[in-house]
């Protein structure tokens, strides 16, 4: 099923779903009847929602491919039709995506350029005589052909100019977003310069793997970071101002979803001074964009938490349970190993245990980092913009797909940092890396923002 980015969808009529698969001849005859019917229904502008729905959701790929062809033939230039055709380039069945690529080239559907570049790279690169190429399959060949048809040239220099021109509006929007005023004065400065990042692998009674953050020195430019995790009070301001406008959303955010936290009505988690939880990566991205900043990279987060001396915890190298909200504080029970930890965690219940899991965002100031950032160890995990597996910024491309379709994809997992109220000490170090699916919304996870220094 293709990821559809078109909001104008309709239910598929039953007669278009009646495909007889008892043998090959009957299968293709019933597909032909469905295609003839949808061609009759889809010629007019009123048929665009039907065709886009078929592209997105019909279970038989020949019908999806035919719907792509009909959208391009009858409705190329319509924004919804073009978006559906572009999305079909990522259909899981090759003949659907090939059909989309062919009609994009034939009708020069410029709306598909961002999708095509994700597949083949920039045409100003792959047309260079000195560009290193690997043997390509049909999909890559169709994609390159479509891009060159849209831009109308094979000259690398001219293609670079046209690419810049095509994305000029996007660059302007990004620049405007970058210059958006910061909506928080309660920040701390993290000066630029080198910092010790990562740690050596070490034995651990909770069997938490800590060898994936290699010990190294990284030069980190100056930035500002929220002194505390984003609170419910701040997040409410965002909700009240933004509503369902979508103005600050990531382009890949699922259609028709709300930024209201999952636990917004749970008294244990919704007090104004508590860190907001029950949000996912897309929610945190939108808030940070609205706030005039961004989510921190995991390297920024780690430097803000530990300073430049490579300390183990924000407050120093020695474990001090009085400075942090973690599993033993929140449950009032000691744990010594993974088995006892898991036995305790399965006692968690809705609205009851533990009664007060999360502390206010400005509690435990004695646990502050060297720069004065609070609770960078414990209380709630904090979302970053870093992909857990690649170490690069997150670049999701899952719109229109159910999480079951991408929950095993490495590009769907971001880094979590700092540990939470259910964590043992192993997860509370400045270098421990957690991960989460970008659509998951947990009562253990919050975030804070970083901002450029403009003065």
In a domain, 329, yes or no: yes
Give the predicted TM-score (pTM) of the model: 0.66
Show the beta-strand stretches assigned E in 131-266: 187-190, 193-197, 216-220, 223-226
Residue where a domain terminates, one of 134, 166, 198 = 166
Give, as one character, the DSSP assignment of residue 127. Answer: T
Q: Residue 362: which region, alpha, beta or left (left: phi > 0; alpha: psi -120 to 50)?
A: alpha
In DSSP notation, 194-225 reads: EEEE-------TT-----SS--EEEEE--EEE
The answer to whether residue 316 sits within a structural domain is yes
Q: Are residues 113 and 248 located together in one domain of the fold?
A: no
Per-residue pLDDT, 309: 92
Radius of gyration of the chain (CA): 25
pLDDT digits (tens, 9 = 90+) for 313-330: 999 999 999 999 999 999
Query: How many Å apart are CA 323 and CA 83, to the nearest integer?
Result: 52
Q: Looking at residue 156, which CATH number applies to its domain?
A: 1.25.10
Q: What number of CA atoms fall less than 13 Å from residue 54's CA on the CB side?
A: 32
Q: Where residue 316 sits, what CATH number does that domain have?
A: 3.90.1580.10
402 shares its domain with 302: yes
End-to-end CA distance of the chain: 49
Beta bridge partners of 216: 197
In a domain, 9, yes or no: no
Same domain assignment for residues 417 and 351:
yes
In this structure, the answer to whether residues 153 and 202 fall within a common structural domain is no
Q: Collapse the DSSP code of 283 into the 3-class scheme (helix H, G, I; strand E, B; otherwise coil) and give the result.
A: helix
In this structure, the answer to whether residues 127 and 234 fall within a common structural domain is no
Q: Among 103, 136, 166, which residue terminates a domain?
A: 166
Considering its fold, how many domains does the chain have in total?
2
Within-domain flag for 279:
yes
Task: Encode pLDDT of 228-257 as tens digits.
Answer: 999 999 999 999 999 878 889 998 888 778
pLDDT, one tens digit per residue, over 334-375 is 998 888 888 888 888 777 779 899 999 999 999 999 999 999
Task: Give CA–CA dist 308/110, Å, rounded.
Answer: 48
Q: How many CB atoms lie within 10 A of CB 217?
A: 11
What is the span of the domain harbouring residue 271? Answer: 187-451
Chunked mean pLDDT (size 10), the chain, 455 residues: 41 88 93 90 87 91 94 93 93 91 95 87 86 71 93 92 83 61 92 90 66 85 97 97 89 87 93 97 96 96 95 96 95 88 84 88 97 97 95 86 79 94 93 92 96 84
226-248 per-residue burial string, b: 16 or more CB within 10 A, e: under 16: bbbbbbbebbbebbeebeeeeeb
Give the pLDDT of residue 92: 86
The H helix count followed by the E strand count for the chain is 16, 9
Last residue of a domain, one of 133, 166, 199: 166
């Amino acid at each position: 099923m293709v990821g559809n980015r078109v909001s104008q969808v309709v239910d598929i009529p039953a007669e278009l779903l009646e495909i007889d698969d008892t043998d090959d001849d009957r299968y293709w005859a019933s597909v032909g009847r469905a295609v003839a019917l949808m061609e009759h229904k889809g010629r007019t502008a009123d048929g665009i929602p039907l065709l886009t729905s078929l592209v997105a959701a019909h279970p038989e790929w020949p019908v999806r491919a035919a719907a792509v062809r009909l959208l391009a033939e009858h409705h190329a230039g319509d924004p919804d039709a073009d978006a559906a055709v572009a999305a079909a380039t990522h259909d899981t069945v090759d003949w659907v995506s090939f059909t989309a690529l062919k009609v994009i080239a034939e009708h020069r559907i410029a709306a598909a350029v961002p999708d095509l570049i994700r597949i083949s790279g920039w045409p100003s690169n792959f047309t260079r005589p000195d560009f290193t190429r690997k043997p390509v399959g049909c999909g890559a060949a169709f994609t390159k052909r479509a891009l060159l048809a849209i831009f109308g040239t094979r000259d690398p220099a001219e293609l670079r100019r046209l690419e810049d021109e095509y994305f000029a509006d996007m660059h302007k929007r990004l620049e405007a977003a970058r210059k958006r005023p910061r909506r928080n004065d309660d920040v701390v400065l993290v000066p630029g310069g080198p910092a010790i990042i990562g740690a050596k692998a070490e034995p651990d009674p909770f069997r938490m793997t800590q060898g994936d953050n290699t010990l190294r020195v990284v030069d980190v430019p100056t930035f500002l970071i929220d002194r505390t995790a984003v609170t419910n009070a701040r997040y409410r301001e965002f909700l009240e101002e933004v509503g369902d406008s979508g103005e600050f959303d990531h382009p890949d955010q699922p259609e028709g979803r709300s930024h209201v936290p999952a636990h917004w009505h749970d008294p244990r988690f919704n007090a104004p001074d508590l860190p907001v939880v029950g949000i996912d990566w897309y929610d945190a991205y939108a808030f940070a964009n609205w706030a005039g900043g961004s989510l921190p990279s995991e390297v920024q987060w780690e430097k803000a938490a530990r300073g430049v001396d490579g300390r183990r915890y924000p407050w120093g190298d020695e474990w001090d349970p009085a400075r942090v909200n973690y599993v033993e504080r929140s449950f009032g029970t000691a744990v010594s190993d993974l088995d006892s930890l898991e036995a305790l965690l399965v006692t968690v219940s809705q609205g009851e245990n533990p009664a007060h899991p999360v502390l206010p965002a400005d509690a435990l100031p004695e646990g502050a980092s060297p720069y004065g950032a609070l609770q960078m160890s414990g209380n709630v995990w904090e979302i970053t913009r870093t992909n857990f597996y690649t170490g690069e910024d997150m670049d999701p491309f899952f719109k229109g797909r159910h999480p079951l379709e991408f929950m095993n994809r490495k590009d769907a997992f971001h880094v979590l940092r700092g540990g939470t109220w259910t964590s043992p000490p192993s997860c509370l170090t400045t270098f421990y890396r957690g991960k989460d699916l970008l659509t998951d919304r947990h009562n253990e996870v919050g975030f804070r923002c970083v901002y450029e220094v403009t003065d």
